[in-house]
Amino acid sequence: MASASAAAPPVGAGPPVPGAPIVARRRMPVGAANGSVLPSAVDGAPIMHPGKLPPRLPWPDIGRLAKWSVSSFKFGFGAECLTDEDPDTFWHSDGPQPHFITVEFPRKVAIQKLCMYLSFPLDDSYTPATIAVRAGTGLVDLQDVRIMSVEKPDGWITFDVCTEPNEDGDGFKHVDAYVIQVIIIANHMNGKDTHVRGLKILGPVETKLKAYEEPFPFVSPRFRMYQCIR
């Protein structure tokens, strides 16, 4: 993934005119290799990262720990196309709606966000328009945790799987589950089959204390004996 490049100045821009007012520009943190903005958890709205390259995000990708399956697929366009890191391949469903992607973990995991690559310019009526997310301990007890709509997306979309605020009020809670399922309820232009070019399952960010922030930064045996109550 390439590093973010500086934005080019607008056409016609030149040196400031003496005496002209200076307009302050809102600074936004850049968190993706393609210059996208780090997702904000203020309102839970999905964040679009334009471009084919996956955004560089702080949340760990835990999808490699799971078994992936899909409701249907055309030969050569199966579940493996969702995780092959190739933006030019895609899962192509081949059956009645709704279409779904099922991700099963061998143990309970914490799931914070999903990141999907959808492209209306490339896929037209195959592009998902309404998406639901279900989670549970197994296939028999899955419950809806989020339903959302997207309008002609073109790029990677990052969104929280749950819209319930966390205890600090600065984000949203994660979901603890063995199974997570992404359901394509409807496509653009009433399309029947669907295309999804990439999908990542993201866990919560792990906060690591620095050495000087450790509650008991002792290294010698004499001091380490006081690290805990005996």
Residue 90 is assigned to a structural domain of this protein: yes
Task: Determine phi and psi for 106, rounding to 5 degrees.
Answer: -70, -15
Residue 154 is assigned to a structural domain of this protein: yes
Core vs surface per residue 169-181: b (16+ CB within 10 A) or e: eebbbbbebbbbb
Pairing of strands 154-160, 113-119: antiparallel
Residue 6 is assigned to a structural domain of this protein: no
**Predicted model pTM:** 0.72
* Residue range of the domain that includes 114: 47-224
Residue 34 is assigned to a structural domain of this protein: no
Residue 129 is assigned to a structural domain of this protein: yes
Mean pLDDT to the nearest integer, 131-159: 96
Is the model's pLDDT at 45 over the cut of 50? yes
pLDDT of residue 150: 95
Contacts of 78 (CB under 8 A, 6+ apart): 70, 91
Is the model's pLDDT at 206 over the cut of 70? yes
Residue 2 is assigned to a structural domain of this protein: no
The band of 189, judged by pLDDT with boundaries at 50, 70 and 90, is: very high
pLDDT of residue 209: 53
pLDDT of residue 14: 47
User: Phi-psi region for residue 35, left (φ > 0), alpha (ψ -120 to 50) or beta?
Assistant: left
CB atoms within 10 A of CB 131: 24
Of the chain, the percentage scoring pLDDT greater than 90 comes to 63
Is the model's pLDDT at 12 over the cut of 70? no
Residue 82 is assigned to a structural domain of this protein: yes
Please count the structural domains in the chain: 1
Q: What is the domain-level CATH number for residue 192?
A: 2.60.120.260
Assess contact for 92 and 83: CB atoms under 8 A.
Answer: no
Residue 31 is assigned to a structural domain of this protein: no
